[in-house]
Amino acid sequence: MSVTVIVPAFNEAKHIAATVQSLQHQTYLIKEIIVVDDCSTDNTGEIARSLGVTVIRTPMNKGSKAQAQGFGLDLVKTELFVTVDADTILASNAIYEAMRFFNDNNTEVVCGTVVPQRLNTAWELGRLVEYLYAQAIMKPAQDQHGLVLVASGCFSIFRTKTVKELGGFDERTMAEDMDLTWQIHENGGRVYFATKAVCYPVDPPNRRIYCAQMDRWYRGFIQNMKVRNYKPFPRKWSMRTMVYIYLVWFAISALITPLFLYAITTNILMTLLWMLIMNSVLVWLPALVVGKKLGVPVLKIVYGFLPYLILPYINMFIYARSLWKEIVVNEKLVVWQKGH
């Protein structure tokens, strides 16, 4: 099946060359690589053009990744197209490993496994464990039951005809990848998770970028609920139930904090011991197993364990703030904030 790759890019001069070169070295033949230069103020477009790929520049900054991708989608003539973030590199066999899922005629999109490209800061190491745990437990479970919640925008493969019939990437939310995934589910299509199709995005290296990314993700999730009047998947109750569980769990998980603090005041050593044991068994061991399969250094997974224990509390605060802004005061996030 013929494939085109769309790479939306805004001021990605530091990363675009590595991204394009990883695409040019794919074991699966790519017909065309299209870099959408969204009015970058650096030399992103010039670097991409020097590598021999198609570069199109938007007449004015589109303001969101969805609109930039839509600008490139108009040029796609192949059966399938791939979306790749401009700071994400692919394993050489990533597209090849994802293609086999299109042997199922109902397949509309396939998403890959995500591993942070850089593992230097506590934020990147904590995110590593978070990703590995999700891809050891959550994503395979969703895939097994046909309930993949989101095909990650940093690397996914779509059936072109279907996406164009659905109107492309809608800019009504800040999570265009989730919105399109949900539309495909609602339309009866199949979404797969390819464990061997690996991509490496540049994840947030510090608190500011991490919080901006999580805020965009949470608010994008809430916006996807709002545009559907909180009634997604009218014909797929299992999917709707899972979304409701996520919506409620994110909200009530903050209750863990006061319970944890109360337990510490009662018996701090026992509380910390049980917390360590439960997270080791339920999170760290699955993450370690998957990480070893993906070639992630074991020490990096070990170093990421402590930051991972802290991230949920930061995420709780960001989620609560996102709920307040999006639902209570109706302050919709409309400007795409760079995450990775």
Encode the chain in three state secondary structure.
CCEEEEEEECCCCCCHHHHHHHHHCCCCCCCEEEEEECCCCCCHHHHHHHCCCEEEECCCCCCCHHHHHHHHHCCCCCCEEEEECCCEEECCCHHHHHHHHHHCCCEEEEEEEECCCCCCCHHHHHHHHHHHHHHHHHHHHHHHCCCCCCCCCCEEEEEHHHHHHCCCCCCCCCCHHHHHHHHHHHCCCEEEEEEEEEEEECCCCCHHHHHHHHHHHHHHHHHHHHCCCCCCCCCCHHHHHHHHHHHHHHHHHHHHHHHHHHHHHHHHHHHHHHHHHHHHHHHHHHHHHHHHHCCCCHHHHHHCHHHHHHHHHHHHHHHHHHHHHHHHCCCCCCCCCCCC
Distance between CA 87 and CA 154 in Å, rounded?
A: 9
For residue 340, what pLDDT band results from cuts at 50, 70 and 90? Answer: very low
What pLDDT is recorded for position 256?
Answer: 64
* Mean pLDDT lowest among 60-69, 187-196, 260-269: 260-269
Greater confidence, 280 or 301?
Answer: 301
**Domain residue limits, the chain:** 91-340
Burial 215-254 (b: 16+ CB within 10 A, else e): bbbbbbbbbbbbebeeebbeebeebbebbeeeeeebeeee
CB 193 within 8 A of CB 140: yes
Please name the residues in contact with 197: beta carbons below 8 A apart, sequence gap of 6 or more: 91, 93, 94, 95, 97, 98, 110, 112, 113, 155
Distance between CA 190 and CA 170 in Å, rounded?
A: 19
What pLDDT is recorded for position 339?
Answer: 47
Stretch 193-215: mean pLDDT: 95
What pLDDT is recorded for position 330?
Answer: 93
The whole-chain average pLDDT of the chain stands at 90
Query: What are phi and psi for residue 163, nearest 5 degrees?
Result: -65, -40
Stretch 203-225: mean pLDDT: 94
Distance between CA 64 and CA 82 in Å, rounded?
A: 18
The radius of gyration computed from the CA coordinates of the chain, to the nearest angstrom, equals 20
What pLDDT is recorded for position 28?
Answer: 97
Please name the residues in contact with 121: beta carbons below 8 A apart, sequence gap of 6 or more: 205, 206
Tokens of 12: 């990605």
Task: Give the rounded percent of residues in the chain with a pLDDT score beyond 90.
Answer: 69
Distance between CA 325 and CA 332 in Å, rounded?
A: 7
CB 336 within 8 A of CB 64: yes
Length of the chain: 340
* Mean pLDDT lowest among 171-185, 189-203, 212-226, 323-337: 323-337
For residue 75, what pLDDT band results from cuts at 50, 70 and 90? Answer: very high
Greater confidence, 260 or 128?
Answer: 128
For residue 95, what pLDDT band results from cuts at 50, 70 and 90? Answer: very high
What pLDDT is recorded for position 206?
Answer: 95
Stretch 171-190: mean pLDDT: 92
* Mean pLDDT lowest among 40-44, 56-60, 278-282: 278-282
Give the burial class of 37: count Cβ atoms within 10 A of its Cβ; 0-12 exposed, 13-18 middle, 19 or more buried. buried
